[in-house]
Amino acid sequence: MKKLMVFLFAALFVVGSMADVIAATQYVTIGTGGVTGVYYPTGGAISKMVNKKRKEYNLRATVESTGGSVFNVNAIMVGDLEFGVVQSDRQYQAFNGTADWEGKPQTKLRAVFSIHPESVTLVAAADANVNSVADLKGKRVNIGNPGSGQRGNALDLLAAAGINYETDLKAEGIKAAESAGMLQDERIDAFFYTVGHPNGSVKEAVAGARKVNFVPIDKAIVDKLVAQFPYYAPSVIPVAMYPGVANKADVASFGVKATFVTSADVSDDIVYAITKEVFENFDDFKKLHPAYSTLSKASMLQGMSAPIHPGAMKYYKEAGLK
């Protein structure tokens, strides 16, 4: 009987100890986007970085494919997700209660860091002699279909440059995917496309018989847009990704960013751990996708409009980034 009691006591001790370990481990889920996009592998890479240190942090991360930015914000706000990848304009709109959140600001939304830029890309036929935004006057330009992201970005840019799209351009309102064919068929002279690079449709435009160039956006215009709209940030279009393009050097532009967000309800320790792992494995993180080739640690702190989570800010101050 005594041996049995000792055995039972030992068994209960082991079970209790395991329960303590399990209880000490915290679980978080990262919402991304479709499995074929850039957001999903980004979330997967972040979770792998964290899980390598799971014993140190008592933290396990999983990744979930979702409908994207709006879904991720809403799921984080109700506690179904702890983190998510969200476009910077959606981050701004959610926190400030506009667009899909009209009159309902998501005040607990917190920024962690930015990721890759989705650049406002102005593609022009070389024979159209469009070398600046001002040169668009009088040209046939696709500004994007109504309700599209690129149309809104294009109109912001044109307004900042003092160009009225209704009177100064021969504006088209077609989908971005149709632009390359129309440019090569000489039905338009230029088109706008807000996208991460490299992009298949832009490659199609560049690979055609009609020579193509990317139009740089003047720094003064970019600075004006960034000051006016908190969700915009400077970006660079890397020409090495597009053999055959007329440009010889990378092209300056602006755009929105993919951003990593969380809730004020998520603990400082968890956010600190994830932020630290991403930034201290920065070189490996950059290798995830060609769109990350222009990333810098400084650029990952741009384009955020919700308050930075205290856990992330703790790391940035330790690392001398803030």
In the chain, the domains with their CATH numbers are 25-116+257-318 (3.40.190.10), 118-255 (3.40.190.10)
**Tokens matching residue 279:** 């930034």
**What pTM was estimated for this model as a whole?**
0.70
Query: Got the DSSP string for 145-156?
Result: -TT-HHHHHHHH
Is the bond preceding residue 198 a cis peptide, omega within 30 degrees?
yes
Question: Which residues neighbour 179 within 8 Å (Cβ) at sequence distance 6 or greater?
Answer: 123, 142, 188, 191, 193, 201, 205
φ, ψ for residue 86, nearest 5 deg: -140, 140
**Tokens matching residue 201:** 């449709």
Q: Which of 50, 33, 61, 99 is nearest to 231 (CA)?
A: 99
| End-to-end CA separation in angstroms for the chain | 65
List per-residue pLDDT tens for the chain, 322 residues long. 555 454 545 544 544 544 444 458 899 999 988 776 678 888 999 999 999 999 999 999 999 998 888 899 999 999 999 999 988 988 998 999 988 899 999 999 999 999 987 899 999 999 999 999 999 999 999 998 886 777 888 999 999 999 999 999 999 999 888 999 999 999 999 999 988 888 888 999 999 999 999 999 999 999 999 999 878 888 899 899 999 999 999 999 999 888 999 999 999 999 999 999 999 999 999 988 887 877 899 989 988 889 999 999 999 999 999 8
**Tokens matching residue 81:** 């997700």
Secondary structure E strands in 17-156: 26-31, 59-64, 83-87, 109-125, 140-142
